[in-house]
Structure 1
Amino acid sequence: MTKVRLLSAAVLMTLFTSSAWAFSIDDVAKQAKALADKGYEAPKSNLPSQFRDMKFADYQQIQFNHDKAYWNNLNTPFKLEFYHQGMYFDTPVKINEVTANSVKEIKYSPDYFNFGNVKHDADSVKNLGFAGFKVLYPINKADKDDEIMSVLGASYFRLIGKGQVYGLSARGLAIDTALSSGEEFPRFREFWIERPNPDEKHLIIYALLDSPRATGAYRLDVYPGKEASVDVQAKVYLRDKVGKLGLAPLTSMFLFGPNQPSTVMNYRPALHDSDGLSIHAGNGEWIWRPLNNPKHLSVSQFTMENPKGFGLLQRGRNFHQYEDLDDRYDLRPSAWVEPKGDWGKGKVELVEIPTADETNDNIVAFWTPDQLPATGTPIDISYRLHFTRDEDKLHSPDSSWVSQTLRSAGDVKQSNLVREQDGSIAYIVDFVGPALKSLKPDTPVASQVSMGDNADLLENSVRYNSVTKGWRLTLRLKVKDPKKPVEMRAALVNGDKTLSETWSNQLPANE
C-alpha cells in the first residue's frame, strides 16, 4: 500500500512538473529587464568581407534550400526557412525552438542554403548565424506551402494573407523617428518559436529586443488565412530618456498617386504600398489622411485619448489604378492596428520623408504616448495587427469613407464652355459607403470644410455620383505662399448628421 502511494506521488509530481513548465513572455521579460539594467553592448558582426560588400543582386542569389525547411519532416502545417547574412544584414540573430519540455537553439549550417554564383570560403561561413527567418503555411492551396511571414532586419516583420503580395512592414519599436538627433533602430536579437501541434492554426513567436536606449520582450501570435493577423504583446523597458517613442509602428512607401501625380511621365497612374493613414479616434471620429511624397520632411500629429485603431491602408484595389504587372501594388495588404485595452493620452503620428524612387520606405506611422514611465518600469502594450485587403470591413456598416482623392490644376468654365485654368488647385474627393448608398440621389448632402490660413477656398461643391452611388466633393483653392503647406479638412453632412469620415488632407510645400 505504501509503495502504491509512493508511486502515485511520484507520478503526480512528474505530471505536475510537466504541466507547470511552459515558456512565456515573462521568461523573455526577465532577460529584457536584465539587459536594461546594464549598459548597452553593440552587436558584433562575424560576417566575412565578401558577404558584407556584396550587391543586392548577389545577395538574392543566396537562396534557402526548400527541401531542408525546418519542421519539414514533422506533422505540422507550419514550416520555417532562414535568411543568410549579407550586405547590411551583417549581424546574426539567435533563433530557438520551444517544445513541450525544452528550449533548443536552431543552429546555423551552410547546408541550409544554395549560394548560386556567390564565391565564398566554406570555412568562413560554417559558424555564422541567421539574419532572420520566414514562416510558411498553406493559405492558397492545401498542398502548397506559402510564405506568409518575413522577419528580417532591425525589428521589422511583414505578413501576407491569401492572394496578397508583400508590401508594407510592421516594427517592434521606433525611437526618435524624424528627430534632428537621428533615429535609433532597435533590433530583435533573439527569437523563441514554439513548435506547433499537428492541428495548430496559429504560431507563437517570442522575441527579445535591444537598442542603446530600450529593451523589450515580445510575444507574436500569428494567425494565417484570408487575412493575416498577429496578436502582439510587448513589455518595453527604457534604459535612458528618449525624445519620441513610437509604439506599434508601421512603415510603408508612397512615391506618387492621383492626389500627387508623378512629376515625370510614367505609364503607371500610382506607385505606392499605401495611399493613406486611417484613424479611428477614441471619440468615435474616423479620419483619412491621404499620403504625400513631400519635398521636405513632414510630421503630422493627431492628438487623442484611447484610440480605437489606426493603420496605413491601400484603398485602391483595381489593377488599372497601378497597371504594374511585376509589383502588383493592387495586391499589397493594408495594415491596421487594433489596440487592446486603454492606451491613454497620446498621438498618432505620421512621418512622410522625401524619396526619389520606390526602393525607400518613406512613410512611418505609430502611436506615441504623452507620458512615459520611469527608467526600468515596463511599458505594457497589446494590440492586434491585421494585414488585409478588405479595408471596407474596418468601418461600421452605417458609415462612409473616401474611396479616392484626385488632385488637378483648377479651372473655370467660361461662357463659351471652354475651361480655363485660373492658377488654383482642385481636389476631387469621392465618398462611398453604406451611409451614402442608402440615400436618395436628391438628398441634400452638403460638406463641412475648414481650410488653413495659407489658402483661400474658391469652390466647395457636392454632387451625387451615379457611378459609385456615393457623393463627390470638389474643392478649389488658391495657395498664398507655395513655400508653406496647406491643411484642410472636410466631411459630408445631412443637416446636423455627419455622414462620412473626416478627410484630413495636406498640400505639401512646393518649394
Structure 2
Amino acid sequence: MTVSVSLGAPRPSHPRRRDVLAYLSASVAAFTLAPAVRAQTPQATIASRMGDGQRFDSATLTDIARQLSKKPFVQPPNDLPDVFSNLNYDQYVSIKSLQPPIWSMEGRGIALEPLHRGFVFANAVDLFLVEDGAVRRTGYDRSQFNFNGINVPNDLKDIGFSGFRLISHPAEGKPFEFAIVQGATFFRALARGQNYGAIARALTLKPAEAKGEEFPVFRAFWIERPSIGSTSITVHGVLDSESTTGAVRMTFRPGDMTIVDVETTLFPRVNLEHVGLGGMASTYFYGPNDPRDADDIRPAVYESSGLQMLNGQGEWLWRPLQNPETLQISAFVDNSPRGFGLLQRERSYETFQDDDQRFERRPSLWIEPLGEWGQGSVQLLEIPSDAEINDNILAYWRPKAPMAAGSEVSFAYRQYWGWNAPERPPLATVSGTRVGRGNGGRRRRFTVDFSGDMLGDNWPTDLKSVLTVGPGVFQNLKLLPYPERKTVRVAFELDPGNENACEMRLILEAGGKPISETWLYRWTP
C-alpha cells in the first residue's frame, strides 16, 4: 500500500548537500563551550574510555554510546580557525596531503587518508587507528599539507580532521578510491570505475518535519588496520545528537561491487517517533518523465532514475523519480522488507551527454535488511529543486513502532554500491517512462516501456496490461510489442479531472500471472 502526501506551496530549492553541512557548521559556530563544560565533553569521555594507548574493545565503544545517552547533548566546540572556516569550495579542495595514505606502503590492500577540516566541514572528529589491538590517535600536523596559497599560521595547533577517505590498493590492478566518510553521519561509496553519486546516512531523524530535520554527528572513529593483502576494512564510530546516541560498525569490501555491512545500536534520549534506517540521498533534476522545460543541451540530468523495492511479499516495485513542483512524500507500507534502493538504470552516455558529470557512471545503492525489520514503510521524499547540485531525493525505512527513551535498539543491513543491484527481478523490468502533453485540457500522455527476454520473438500472445488510477481516469490504453527489442510499450492518457495528485499502478500479465515488475507513479501538476 502506498500512502501519498503533498505538502505546501512550491519550494524554490532544496538545500544543497554543502548547504546542509553549512547549516550544521553554523549551528556549531553559534555554540561556545565554557571551560567547566568542556571537561565533560563527549570527546573527554571517549578519550578516558578508549583513547590513545588503550586497548580496543567494541563492547566498551557500545558502553560509551550508552553512557553519553544518559547525559545532555553537547554541541561540538567552535574551534576551527577563521582561515579554514572562511574558505570557499575551490580553496578547500585545493588543500592536498603531502603524505602517502596510511598503510599504503605496507601491502595491506586498503589505505586511509584523513581529510582536512574547512569550508562547511567545520566539525572535528577524532580518528583512532586500531593496530594489534592497541588504540592510537591520528594527530594533525600542518606540515603534512600543501595549502596552495592559503595563508596558514606556522604555529597552527592540532585541529583534528573532518573525516577520511578509503583507497583500495590491490596486489594486482590499479588503486582506486572507494569511500568517503565526512560530514554529520554521511558517507559515500562506489564500485571500481564509477563516480560518486548517492550519499548514505548512518541515521536519519525527522526529515521534512515542521520543526526541522535533526542531523546526528559522528564524534569519533576507530579504524582497524587491515591484515596484509586484505580486501576489507572495519570502521567503528560513535554518533550523537539531541535525540539519541549510537554505536556503529561498518565493514567495507571494495571491488566491482562495493559492499558495506552496517551494524548499529541506538540509545534514545527521548522517544523517537520518526527514525530513518538505511537512509540515502540522491539527485533528480529532470528527465523524459519530468522534462521541466529545461533549457539545457543535455537530455537528462539525474544521479538515480528510480526507487526499487522488493517487499516482504516478494513483489518487485519500481517508482520513477521526479522533481516535483511541491514537496512529495510517499510511504510504501510493508512488513519485513527484503530490499530497497535508489538505482541508476541508465548506463549509456547518450542518455545524458554530459562530458563532465558522467551521470551514467553514478552508483546504484541497494539496501538489504539483515534480520527482521517488522512493520513500517519505505519512505520517499521528492523535494522541488531548481539546480542539479541539490540532493533533492531522500529514501529510507521508517519503523512503525517508536523507539522508547532509555531503550537499546539494534539493527543491521548490507549496502551494495555498484552498476546494478545484487539481484534483478526475474521479470520484465521498466526500461523507460515518458510523460508529455495529452489531447487537451489537463490530460497527460504516458508511455511505459517494459523489457526482458520473455518479451522477445516468443512473447506471450495472451499478454495484457493491468492499469489502475486513483483518483482520475485513464483513456486510450494501448499495448505495443516490439519483439526485436525485447520490449513492450504501454501507452495511455491520464485525465486527472480537477484532482492535483493521481496514483497509478501498472503491471504486465500473461496466463493470469505477473510477468513484469510493478510500475508505480504519482502525477502532480
Q: TM-score, normalised by structure 1?
A: 0.89
Residue 503 of structure 1, CA deviation: 0.5
Write the deviation string for residues 252-289 of structure 1: whole angstroms up to 9, x where unpaired: 11101111014232111111110111110000111111
Residue 467 of structure 1, CA deviation: 4.2
Instruction: Pick the aligned partner of 1:209 from 227, 239, 247.
Output: 239
Q: Give the equivalent residue in structure 2 for 1:105.
A: 137
CA separation in 1, counterparts of 2:364 and 2:240? Answer: 28
Instruction: Pick the aligned partner of 2:430 from 379, 382, 402.
Output: 402
CA separation in 2, counterparts of 1:236 and 1:268? Answer: 44
Structure 1 residues 433 and 122: CA distance shift in structure 2, 3 A: farther
CA separation in 1, counterparts of 2:279 and 2:460? Answer: 43
Q: Give the equivalent residue in structure 2 for 1:430.
A: 449
Write the deviation string for residues 143-167 of structure 1: whole angstroms up to 9, x where unpaired: 5321111011001111111111100
Structure 1 residues 428 and 327: CA distance shift in structure 2, 3 A: same
The answer to whether the Cα contact below 8 Å between 1:227 and 1:388 also exists between their aligned partners in 2 is: yes
CA separation in 2, counterparts of 1:260 and 1:246? Answer: 27
Q: Give the equivalent residue in structure 1 for 2:97.
A: 64
Return 457-466 or 327-336, whichever deviates more.
457-466
CA separation in 2, counterparts of 1:201 and 1:320? Answer: 34
The answer to whether the Cα contact below 8 Å between 1:436 and 1:499 also exists between their aligned partners in 2 is: no
Structure 1 residues 314 and 485: CA distance shift in structure 2, 3 A: same
CA separation in 1, counterparts of 2:185 and 2:144? Answer: 23
CA separation in 1, counterparts of 2:105 and 2:97? Answer: 16
CA separation in 2, counterparts of 1:317 and 1:222? Answer: 25
* SS of residue paired to 2:123: coil
Instruction: Pick the aligned partner of 1:236 from 263, 266, 269.
Output: 266
Give the paired residue count.
472
CA separation in 2, counterparts of 1:442 and 1:89? Answer: 56
Residue 242 of structure 1, CA deviation: 3.1
- Name stretches of at least 5 consecutive residues in structure 2 with no aligned partner: 1-53
CA separation in 2, counterparts of 1:223 and 1:24? Answer: 22
Instruction: Pick the aligned partner of 1:290 from 311, 314, 320.
Output: 320
The answer to whether the Cα contact below 8 Å between 1:68 and 1:112 also exists between their aligned partners in 2 is: no
The answer to whether the Cα contact below 8 Å between 1:305 and 1:344 also exists between their aligned partners in 2 is: yes
CA separation in 1, counterparts of 2:256 and 2:248? Answer: 25
Q: 1:182-331 to 2 correspondence within 5 Å?
A: 182-331=212-361
Residue 88 of structure 1, CA deviation: 1.8
Write the deviation string for residues 322-369 of structure 1: whole angstroms up to 9, x where unpaired: 001111100101000001111100000001111111111111100011
Q: Give the equivalent residue in structure 2 for 1:92.
A: 124
Write the deviation string for residues 233-253 of structure 1: whole angstroms up to 9, x where unpaired: 111111112341001101111
CA RMSD of aligned residues (A): 1.8
Write the deviation string for residues 8-58 of structure 1: whole angstroms up to 9, x where unpaired: xxxxxxxxxxxxx98454232111111111111111121112211221111
Structure 1 residues 310 and 134: CA distance shift in structure 2, 3 A: same
Percent identity over the alignment? 34
Residue 188 of structure 1, CA deviation: 1.2
Residue 312 of structure 1, CA deviation: 0.3
The answer to whether the Cα contact below 8 Å between 1:210 and 1:216 also exists between their aligned partners in 2 is: yes
Q: Give the equivalent residue in structure 1 for 2:31.
A: none
Instruction: Pick the aligned partner of 1:136 from 163, 167, 170.
Output: 167
CA separation in 1, counterparts of 2:312 and 2:235? Answer: 30
2:504 equivalent to 1:473: no
- Name stretches of at least 5 consecutive residues in structure 1 with no aligned partner: 1-20, 412-420
CA separation in 2, counterparts of 1:149 and 1:496? Answer: 46
2:115 equivalent to 1:83: yes
CA separation in 1, counterparts of 2:169 and 2:300? Answer: 31
* SS of residue paired to 2:226: coil
Structure 1 residues 442 and 206: CA distance shift in structure 2, 3 A: closer
Residue 376 of structure 1, CA deviation: 2.1
